Structure 1
Amino acid sequence: MTSAAPHQPILDKPFVLDLFAGPGGLDVAGHALDIPSLGIEWDRSACLTRYAAGLDTLHADVSAVRRDAFESLPPEINVLAGGPPCQTYSVAGKGAGRKALEEVKEYIERLMAGHSDEAIDRSLKKLSDPRTAMVLEPLRYAIQATRSPNRQKRPYDVIVLEQVPAVEALWHHYAKVLKETGLPDGTKYEVVVDVLDTETYGVPQTRSRAVLIARREGLGQPSLPAPTHRAYEAKEWNRRAVQAASRIHQPTLDAPDTSGVTDTAPGIDDKGLRPWTSMGEALADPVGTHPGRRTPFLVRSNYGSSGIPGRRGVRTDRQPAATVTGRISRFVVFEHLNESVVREGARFSMNEAGMLQSFPPDYPWSGTAQAQQVGNAVPPVFGAHLLSAALGLPAPDPEVLRKPWQSATEEQRAKLRSHGCGAADTCTARCPRPERQTPVRSSSRPRVDASKQPEANGTDSLRRISPRSSGL
């Protein structure tokens, strides 16, 4: 359900708590909307990116903060947001979460009935993959807010969640209990849930996300953000590509040359929708340190798009990218030299990969596993649309996110890391252990990130954390 009603902000001073914050997609969206945020992120490299970007960050485990440091969170936070880890729910994963959907729904019922955290935690240990339980954390935070003396037991006003499409069933169950049952203190919400395609909001890639937007009763019925761009129709594009290939020499790739193919409906249509944003449009112009990509190109990915294996293959610069994941660094880019010859060119830089996720140019990707950071992030343009719809704000101006990002100064970065890690230039005992930074891959040896970090987990020291907006 989308709405064309006049925009009316529902909160005077929104302040977002971003769970599983990653490198900052939702926080960058908040920055574009002048909305402050605090992110909680456990991965050291993602936190390094956030510090370099100037984003308020707590380097910690989301569950540990809820258990041990909730009272230190800023009491003025009134918007809860997040995208829990999706590996076990993703079509690309082994599917432990999909198999446990009904079991997780039972945990939701138990939480809403007021069962103790200790009893819930004991039961959750039985799950085959502990990441599956992370999808419960937003609900547990919402409940904890109503029990917090520091917040005067005030519930969050707005909740915004996004995940892979396979989680839609759980979001619908969230919606049911938030609206009908209410939190244990009786707080109820008006909720809307759906699966949205990011290219319909101007993100230059096809990516589908299950979205939940909730408003506390009395703040009005929420609505989904209205699309601003047309959906990418793969079948129509491929049909025209085949027709073009019958007229143009076939290049040495597993896809037809589409240099003669143009958008079927250029310009704004009768519904006010613009054409979807292509890779070429996103990357063509020089901006910041990005030199621009003016030469027509093809991109070959080695996996499906939006969870649909049939979409794998080659796309041109006139199409949106396939879903950007941690494999973006494996995308092979081929440049057109003329109508019949292509050559393999340079692969996308991390700056370009971020731009395909709609991050601003020159976003300061830092640490290791940068491609994974890019792929795991919420596309900022999409996030800005979600926050705007949730808070009753006008649709965001995408041009704000096309400008080069101004990174934090060394002094600002040191101040942010002192808040987030406990020291200006290193992690401390309260940060998550290094061996837990990157989940072990089933087909390879464990990857150890940040081997110089302290070994102690230090959950007790979380009680001393006082994350506050730095005002940078």
Structure 2
Amino acid sequence: MLDYGYTEPIDLTGLNAEELRELAAPWPVEWLFPPRDGEPERVVNLFSGPGGWCVGIRDVLRRPADMVGVEMHKDAAATAEAAGFRRIVADVTTLDPNHPALRWVRGLIVSAPCQCWTPSGKRAGHDHRNQDLLMDVFTSAAEATFGHFHDAGPCEWEGDCSICADPDWDGYSGFTGPLLTLNEVRAPIEQMTDARVGLLAEVLIWALTLTWRYANLEWLAMEQSSALPEDVLDAIKDELLCADWVDARYRVLDAVDYGLASRRKRVFLIASRCHFLDVEALTPKRPFRPVSAAAALHWPVGVRVNTRGERKTPGGNEWSADKPSISITSKIRGWYWAHDKDRRFSLDEAALLVGFAPGYPWTGSRSGCCQQIGDVVAPTMSCVVIGALLREPWEPRLRDYLHVIYRLAESNELYDVAA
């Protein structure tokens, strides 16, 4: 028997395989049933892309997970599937977090598109009107799940309150329960100048819905542009704490500080319903030594990479491969050796700079694959963040992984020997 929201329990007895598949769709059929002893925890990965979080958990941290990703871009989903990860090709906003197959989900990962927050984009997320609307959606997400809390007397809610309307109500209570639908929650997004700003709200829509409906969700990890305003991050954190999550923290991390051969600064928010978080666990016990792009790619010394042709506008046209690469974006498709315009980055080289082992099955056109590489969460940072969140020993596993993919000769190449 499954409790689907506040409706009558769903009885799975007697359903044949086709009926079970129809009920579970688009999620795995086995997710309709409780996990067996020893089975890995179930994780939903929203805006999952080509597999950065997944590689970090499976191949770097080496932690078993029964994870399903949701990704609307077919090529990115195909890349992940070719690498052995499960994907649902869909717009996240069209799926219902109340779905009965999500009852036993323990972990939630969310990486909403960041183009509207980054300095290189149009920065629609920094528009005050858009931010005000986003905050309204955050508040509505709480109203659609936990509702609001009142101690005594009729509440100020103008609609139907499940507590005040109860004829046996004794005047004292807590959360009212859902007061809005998810369609009503998302309605203000239509007024934004860029609807992608509103996608950030999915972290609360899903986290709060799963917390309220089934009470099995235990942890959350979110990745976003380091330019995301602190006011927005604080609002997400506050809504989680109001929903009785034990702890929620965020920190800006640069992957180059964790042995990656490129700079990749992102903000990560982690939250737990079970224990207080140790944010110091995000800091390595021994500093990583910077790895140059040339060392990671086994290029000769002295190579300079041209990123912008002959343009003279501000920003610089070249960087030295004898240092870690600048942040990798989709524009890497056009980068070349400054002294040899025909020597461009292969997909393996571009992906190696963001932490993927050679041979990863990128799918689609060269431009599309470079877009995937530019947008993806670095697997190394997935290992760090999930390891710290779930109290896993991430540091030795990360060093081992970097030695394998970069083929570094000496163990001290990943330590800051001067520290």
TM-score with structure 1 length normalisation? 0.63
Say if 1:323 and 1:45 are closer, same or farther in 2 by CA, change over 3 A: same
2:235 counterpart letter in structure 1: H
Match of 1:76 among 100, 104, 125: 104
Q: Per the alignment, in what secondary structure is the counterpart of residue 167 of structure 1? A: coil
After superposition, the C-alpha distances for 1:236-267 in whole angstroms (9 at most, x for unaligned) are xxxxxxxxxxxxxxxxxxxxxxxxxxxxxxxx
Q: Distance in 1 between matches of 2:211 and 2:388?
A: 24
Contact map agreement 2:137 2:186 (CA 8 A) in 1: no
- Two-structure CA RMSD over aligned residues (Å): 2.5
Name the structure 2 match of 1:349.
346
Q: Per the alignment, in what secondary structure is the counterpart of residue 17 of structure 1? A: strand
Q: Percent identity at matched positions?
A: 24
Contact map agreement 2:348 2:359 (CA 8 A) in 1: yes
After superposition, the C-alpha distances for 1:431-459 in whole angstroms (9 at most, x for unaligned) are xxxxxxxxxxxxxxxxxxxxxxxxxxxxx
* Equivalent residue runs for 1:343-382 within 5 Å: 343-368=340-365, 369-382=368-381
Query: Which stretch has the larger CA shift, 100-109 or 384-393?
Result: 100-109
After superposition, the C-alpha distances for 1:361-399 in whole angstroms (9 at most, x for unaligned) are 110101231100110100001111011011011124233
Match of 1:329 among 333, 355, 372: 333
Gaps of 5+ in 1: 1-10, 229-270, 285-292, 304-308, 335-341, 405-472
Say if 1:48 and 1:275 are closer, same or farther in 2 by CA, change over 3 A: same
Q: Per the alignment, in what secondary structure is the counterpart of residue 356 of structure 2? A: coil
Give the C-alpha shift of residue 403 in structure 1. Answer: 4.5
Contact map agreement 1:77 1:156 (CA 8 A) in 2: yes
Give the C-alpha shift of residue 50 in structure 1. Answer: 1.0
Q: Per the alignment, in what secondary structure is the counterpart of residue 361 of structure 1? A: coil
Q: Per the alignment, in what secondary structure is the counterpart of residue 198 of structure 2? A: helix
Query: Which stretch has the larger CA shift, 389-398 or 132-141?
Result: 389-398
Give the C-alpha shift of residue 123 in structure 1. Answer: 2.3
Q: Distance in 1 between matches of 2:82 and 2:404?
A: 17
2:227 counterpart letter in structure 1: A
Q: Per the alignment, in what secondary structure is the counterpart of residue 103 of structure 1? A: helix
Query: Which stretch has the larger CA shift, 20-29 or 122-131?
Result: 122-131
Q: Distance in 2 between matches of 1:325 and 1:166?
A: 16
Say if 1:108 and 1:349 are closer, same or farther in 2 by CA, change over 3 A: same
Contact map agreement 1:178 1:188 (CA 8 A) in 2: yes
1:301 aligns with 2:307: yes
Q: Per the alignment, in what secondary structure is the counterpart of residue 46 of structure 1? A: helix
Say if 1:302 and 1:176 are closer, same or farther in 2 by CA, change over 3 A: farther
1:177 aligns with 2:239: yes
Name the structure 2 match of 1:281.
295
Contact map agreement 1:355 1:361 (CA 8 A) in 2: yes
Aligned residues: 321
1:201 aligns with 2:258: yes
Q: Which has the higher contact order (CA 8 A, sep 6+)?
A: 1
2:43 counterpart letter in structure 1: V
Contact map agreement 1:15 1:35 (CA 8 A) in 2: no
After superposition, the C-alpha distances for 1:145-166 in whole angstroms (9 at most, x for unaligned) are 1354xxxx12421111010012
Say if 1:376 and 1:48 are closer, same or farther in 2 by CA, change over 3 A: same
Contact map agreement 1:98 1:166 (CA 8 A) in 2: no
Match of 2:64 among 35, 40, 65: 35
Name the structure 1 match of 2:48.
21
Q: Distance in 2 between matches of 1:402 and 1:360?
A: 11
1:96 aligns with 2:124: yes
Give the C-alpha shift of residue 344 in structure 1. Answer: 3.5
Q: Per the alignment, in what secondary structure is the counterpart of residue 48 of structure 2? A: coil
Contact map agreement 2:108 2:219 (CA 8 A) in 1: yes
Q: Distance in 1 between matches of 2:376 and 2:264?
A: 12
1:177 counterpart letter in structure 2: E
Match of 2:279 among 194, 210, 223: 223
Give the C-alpha shift of residue 13 in structure 1. Answer: 4.4
Q: Per the alignment, in what secondary structure is the counterpart of residue 192 of structure 1? A: strand
* Equivalent residue runs for 1:139-218 within 5 Å: 139-148=204-213, 153-169=214-230, 170-179=232-241, 181-182=242-243, 187-216=244-273, 218=274
TM-score with structure 2 length normalisation? 0.71
Match of 1:45 among 54, 70, 75: 75
Contact map agreement 1:192 1:222 (CA 8 A) in 2: no
1:373 counterpart letter in structure 2: Q
After superposition, the C-alpha distances for 1:12-53 in whole angstroms (9 at most, x for unaligned) are 944331110010000011112233221111101001111111
Match of 1:107 among 137, 144, 147: 137
Give the C-alpha shift of residue 276 in structure 1. Answer: 1.4
Give the C-alpha shift of residue 326 in structure 1. Answer: 1.0
Q: Distance in 2 between matches of 1:88 and 1:108?
A: 18
Give the C-alpha shift of residue 204 in structure 1. Answer: 1.3
1:219 counterpart letter in structure 2: H
Give the C-alpha shift of residue 98 in structure 1. Answer: 1.3
Name the structure 2 match of 1:445.
none
After superposition, the C-alpha distances for 1:68-114 in whole angstroms (9 at most, x for unaligned) are x83334x4321111210111111111111111223312321222233
